[in-house]
Amino acid sequence: MLSNLPPATRALLLTNVGVFLLQQLINPLLVQYLALWPPGTELFEPWQLLSYAFLHEGVLHILFNMFALFMFGTPLERYWGSARFTVFYFVCVLTAALTQQAVALFDHSDAYTIGASGGIFGLLLAFAVYFPRQRIMLLFPPIPLPAWAFVTIYGLAELFMGVTGNEAGVAHFAHLGGMLGGAAMILFWRVKDGAPKVH
């Protein structure tokens, strides 16, 4: 199965799983050096703006993120090619981190952030742009929706939960930051290359 995946998606999946397994052995040390710490803390380092995306908090966290990477990363990498896909993914990871840092400064938070969700939310947005009519099945309730509707609802839900403070412990604004970075890249490519084809 892995051999059928495009190379960047496969590499991201294997790296995330490998780092997660390493976390089970030396988790406190990895969190100290690789998690995204707020810039006002002594633990913040510049590389954490990217490295945080390879750490996860528990099996369900990595399972959902890697399933989404497989589902949405595979068609996007095949559409874009590996180089453009890789740039897009890490731009989304970076903009998610910068957004979370801004929120942490505003909230005077010293909590760290981990997870690939910023990159995943960027991929979700891109999937809705390039494959808007593809059906995505909701889990609760199990209703199939076109990608554009699914991602719009998901984005609005993240904004609502972020503003209201619901679901504490989830970096909702980082998710939105990933989508924002994805939107910026798509607009940049649209100007540079022309309007994208819609499938």
Residue-level pLDDT, tens digit, the chain, 199 residues: 677 899 999 999 999 999 999 999 988 889 999 999 998 889 999 999 999 999 999 899 999 999 999 999 999 999 999 999 999 999 999 999 999 999 988 888 888 999 999 999 999 999 999 999 998 876 656 778 898 888 888 888 878 877 776 666 678 888 999 999 999 999 999 988 876 566 6
Looking at residue 157, its pLDDT comes to: 82
Closest CA relative to residue 93, chosen from 178, 35, 24, 180? 178
The two tokens of residue 100 are 């979370």
| DSSP output for 49-63 | HHHGGG--SSHHHHH
Helices (H), 37-146: 48-51, 59-68, 74-80, 82-107, 117-130
pLDDT number for residue 138: 65
Whole-angstrom distance, CA of residue 199 vs CA of residue 185:
19
Task: Tell which residue, 46, 31, 152, has the closest CA to residue 98.
Answer: 46
Quick one: pLDDT at residue 140? Answer: 59
CATH topology of domain 2-193: Rhomboid-like fold (1.20.1540)
pLDDT at position 167, please?
65
Predicted pLDDT at 198: 61
Contact predicate 71/123, CB 8 Å = no
Token couple for 161:
């939960």
The domain locations on the chain are: 2-193
